[in-house]
Structure 1
Amino acid sequence: MNPIRLAALATAVVLAATGCSVDSAGKDDNAVNVVIGYQSKTINTVTAGTLLRAQGYLEHRLSDISAKTGKKYHVEWQDYDTGAPITAQMVAEKIDIGSMGDYPLLINGSKTQSNERAKTELVAATGSSPTGALNMVVVSPDSPVQSLNELAGQKVSASVGSAGHGTLVRALSKIGIDPKTGVEVLNQQPQIGSSALESGQVKALSQFVAWPGALVFQNKARLLYDGAELNYPTWHGVVVRRAYAAAHPEVLDAFLQAQLDATDFLNTKPLEASKIVAQGSSLPQEVVYLYNGPGGTRFDATLKPSLVDALKGDVPYLKSIGDFADLDVNAFVQDGPLRTALTERGRDYNTEVARTANPSLVHGTDPVCNVPVDNPALAGELWLDGADTTQPAANPTCLLKAVRAAEAKGAKVRAAYVPDAELGTRWLADKSVWVQQGTDFLPFDTAAGAHRYQTAHPGSAVVTYQQALVGVA
């Protein structure tokens, strides 16, 4: 890292420790303060938070401006568990730019709109899932519960107003359970809810990434419901206070350029990025790579119409939980600053916003089956302990063969990733429910998904992961 970036980072660390206030001149040097609210453990916001901060992209961009204009900037990073406290700080005009999930984004726009200095606009996306796979419901590993219907009358932990809670409400409503009276929702922060699940205080936990995957990876939970069953987009994005952006447009442009830097880095070097994010979030790298690796979360900053339409569809849910003022979503979403940022990089916003494919996919040649890895719906990855790269697998069968071959040589599998055969969600192979159909072995991330397949395919049978490894031809 160059000396300028190191100096900028040092300044940011000092300010984070001293807690300088927003949009006010520094006592000594009249520097412009830039206060960023982010969620280090909400890893589909890393391009506007954890990864962006660790790489120093924003400080580097601002130092370039300083070199040209003489104006100085101080960056302060504030880390939170959910989007709600970021919104509270933006209402108080103490945070300038923040990142959060779709439901919290709407709440942010609603709660800030009555104050012109606090009023925000949505300027970029971070990570998204076109199916809703970023939110999940988990139960304890030994829970007898096998489907969402069995949670009727039970206690469920969720952060009310979060994307994870929104998924729970939609999912329960879809199967005929009143989300207000059919279950008892305990409004808890993710880490509190995780403890409540472990202690047996609640029967299930409905949360956003990376909490479900982390608990499953650590053998503290089992996936009950994949939000992808809703087939409804979920995403996270970036909001900025309009008054701040108007006063310091160069800061917003620098932030968006830095976010694009982080996005490009993650999409081209996902394994390296996962290591950086793991260090910055204290999450296991295997979990970070589960969600942020190829074929996982789609990292694309453009504000796609499908995502904006999903926001509009989320409004009834927010009204149902109360305290939500009407919000003009079209006016709230402002793609102008990002259009400018992309143009400055020689890229076309209209071209990029029209792209729907995940920019990061598993590719290469499968070294076990000796075939090209060219079908994202089937492709998986094997990560061996001590390896600096992952090994691509063309399909679930090839992945099982690769795991078996590696273990036969005494290698230790750090993680194996495979897409759910029904929903396409990237998941952990050893935590999947495997179904054998003839000589084929198909992975499902939930027992309910495996059951649906069995019902439609008489003669198929659920097998353990070890049985699948032994039985693969």
Structure 2
Amino acid sequence: MNKQQIPRRGLVYCLLLISLGFAGACSKTSANNSGNTANKKVIRIAIATQDQTINTATGGSVIREEKLLEKYLPKTGKYANVEYNIEWSSYTSGPPITNKMLANQIDIGMMGDFPATINMTTFQKKGNGVKTLYIATLGYSPTGAGNAVLVPKDSPVKTLADLKGKEVSVPFGSAAHGMLLKALKNEGVNAEKDLTLVSQAPEVGGSNLKTNQIAAHANFVPFGELFAYRGFARKIFDGAQTGTPTFHGVLVRSDFAKENPEIVTAYLKALLTANKMFQEQPEAVATKVEKWSSVEREVVYMFLGPSGLQQLNPAIAQVNFDALKNSVVTLKQLGKLDDSVNPEDVTKWADDSYLRQAMQEMGLDYDKVAKAKALVVSGKDAQTNEEIAKPKMAAQIWLEGEDKVMSFASITNMMAMLQKLKAEGKETAGVIFVHDRDRGWKLFAENSFFVQNGKEISAFLTEQEAQTFANKSGAKVANFQGLQQSIAQKTPMLLGAN
């Protein structure tokens, strides 16, 4: 919405009153961006999200486009004669949101753990008594899934060690930056001496991968999967391999929250509703998010759908504090924070009272929600009608043009369906998902590694882990193309129902 302007005649009238000594008759908008016009108070609610960073979808684009905040905004009591001016804005990263929150141009902002750490510590020094509060969690991963290191698709580079002597880019100060530094250290690569690190935003890094102008690019959600899905990059390292948690969260200016607690609660009700929508209709919401973010629905589903790389739980848990602690430690190593910031103080940055109030008003139990298990692939096998009992062994197909994903109890059953689709003349399968046998991470089949033991087929994120598993049984490791060729040579019995 455009900011309210004083009509020209009103301005002339105000100048006349001032000349007569009645300056107080023309009141200005107050510091908290609320004003009174014709006996109606106007309250600005400025919300900043990151549409392409789909972890923020249920706190941003879904609420905005489905008009969920309007549904819950208070309209009685002190809000009985209020006009709401909701200002939405979207950014490609967290730092611009922090700058505008400091300038009191944004009230509620969404960002990842590293930018959030910088945001909250910056406010402690420059907020003039105003703080930012971490009030809810958006998408998160307890292992760090979602951050990734990519190389050009045809690059000979296979491991982080292969990057020695080369130029690697990453958005500095991001969760991906922290992941990359830890991953390089674990691999025995000195980030300062063994390679050249440069800062590049997602769009720049993606462009440079496409044109082979960079050896590798590390990034956060959803670019590690998005660039690979679009066919010009290949993932050589997943943040999940570090085992370090990561998340995106909601921050609010403390002065806005103190003056308008009911509005903050209303926003969190909208967030809870958006989460529920995603969990109940993941394909439908992912399809809508594609329109709002320009991120393909298959990638959105991969992150936030059943057995997705990111979990949706708004509660503020220990795993989130662990992510913030890691952010503090890493940012201090990078010289972005001074020694006055104590990693143990991160718990003081959070305030879940607004979220608890929102849940109470919606009849939800905070502790139950906080302990809820992640949504996983379940239901009936589309090929055999058996129950999907082991999500880590499950597979899925999302055909182009179809509204629903087909799920299978095993990769073997999924391969049987592929053969059936081919026989029916449906050559284009759309996208195929499998899951890492050991950890359950959702994977694109064409970027995964497989080990076949009789009827059982297992998928792995890395070739090394697949080889370790294969060595135990004398089996061979295959990529998806190799697996398809192998299946085609097997007897029909292998493709039959289990």
TM over 0.5: yes
| Residue 402, structure 1, aligned to residue 417, structure 2 | yes
Task: Kindly indicate whether residue 265 of structure 2 is the aligned counterpart of residue 253 of structure 1.
Answer: yes
2:430 counterpart SS class:
strand
1:68 Cα offset (Å): 6.3
1:81-160 pair list within 5 angstroms: 81-114=92-125, 115-116=127-128, 118-160=130-172
Shift of 1:251: 1.5
2:314 to 301, 310, 313: 301
C-alpha deviation, 1:470, in angstroms: 4.1
Of 356, 370, 373, the match for 1:353: 370
Aligned twin of 2:16: none
In structure 2, relative to structure 1, the CA distance for the partners of 1:78 and 1:66 (3 Å cut) is farther
Q: State TM-score, norm by structure 1.
A: 0.91
Return closer, same or farther for 1:451/1:92 CA change in 2, 3 Å cut-off: farther
Look up the match of 1:340.
Answer: 357
Q: 2:34 aligns with which of 25, 45, 49?
A: 25
**CA 37–458 in structure 1, closer or farther in 2 if over 3 Å, else same:** same
User: Could you say if the C-alpha distance between residues 65 and 283 of structure 1 is closer, same or farther in structure 2, counting changes exceeding 3 Å?
Assistant: farther
Classify the secondary structure of the residue corresponding to 2:173. Answer: coil
Shift of 1:63: 6.5
**1:41 and 2:57 matched:** no
Q: Quick one: distance in 2 between partners of 1:282 and 1:67?
A: 40
1:175 pairs with 2:187: yes
RMSD across aligned positions (CA): 2.2
Query: Which amino acid counterpart does residue 58 of structure 1 have in structure 2?
Result: L
Which ranges of structure 2 fall in alignment gaps of 5 or more residues? 5-28, 488-493
Note the residue ranges of structure 1 that are not aligned, 5 or more in a row.
Answer: 1-11
> What's the offset of the Cα at 1:228?
1.1
User: What is the count of residue pairs matched by the alignment?
Assistant: 455
The residue type paired with residue 51 of structure 1 is V
CA distance in 1, matches of 2:385, 2:394: 13
Relative distance call for 1:337 and 1:418 in structure 2 (3 A) is same
Aligned partners of 1:350, 1:99: CA distance in 2, in Å? 23
Match among 212, 234, 244 for residue 232 of structure 1: 244
Deviates more, 1:60-69 or 1:324-333: 60-69
Does the aligned pair in 2 maintain the 1:22–1:96 contact within 8 Å? no
Q: 1:284 is matched by which residue type in structure 2?
A: E
* 61-70 or 156-165, larger mean C-alpha shift: 61-70
Q: Tell me, yes or no, if the aligned pair for 1:450 and 1:462 is still in contact at 8 Å.
A: yes
Residue identity in the other structure for 1:32 = I
Query: Could you list the per-position Cα deviations for residues 67-110 of structure 1 after superposition, in whole angstroms to 9, with x for gaps in the alignment?
Result: 96222211111110011111111122211111111111111111
- Kept after mapping to 1: 8 A contact 2:63/2:69: yes
- 1:164 corresponds, among 169, 176, 186, to 176
> Is residue 459 of structure 2 the alignment partner of residue 450 of structure 1?
no
Secondary structure, counterpart of 1:271 in structure 2: helix
Partner of 1:188: 200
Sort the Cα spacing of 1:154 and 1:448 in 2 relative to 1 into closer, same or farther, 3 A. farther
Contact 2:393/2:458 (<8 A) preserved? no
SS in 2 for 1:77: strand
Tell me what 2:456 maps to.
440
Within the candidate set 227, 235, 241, 1:223 is matched to 235
Q: 1:439–1:74: structure 2 CA closer, same or farther, 3 Å change rule?
A: same
Instruction: Give the secondary structure class of the aligned counterpart of 2:377.
Output: coil
Inter-CA distance 391–137: structure 2 relative to 1 (3 Å threshold):
same
Structure 1 distance, partners of 2:227, 2:274, is 27
Moved over 4 A (4+): 26-29, 63-68
TM-fit CA distance, 1:378: 1.7
Instruction: Determine which of 424, 428, 432 is the counterpart of 1:416.
Output: 432
Residue-by-residue CA offset, 1:291-315 (whole Å, 9 max, x unaligned)? 1211102101001112212322332
Deviation at 1:429, TM superposition (A): 1.4
**TM-score scaled by structure 2?**
0.86
Q: Could you report, residue by residue, the CA deviation over 1:415-441 in whole angstroms, capped at 9, with x for unpaired residues?
A: 111112233211111222233345433
For residues 78 and 381 of structure 2, what CA distance do their matches in structure 1 show?
A: 48
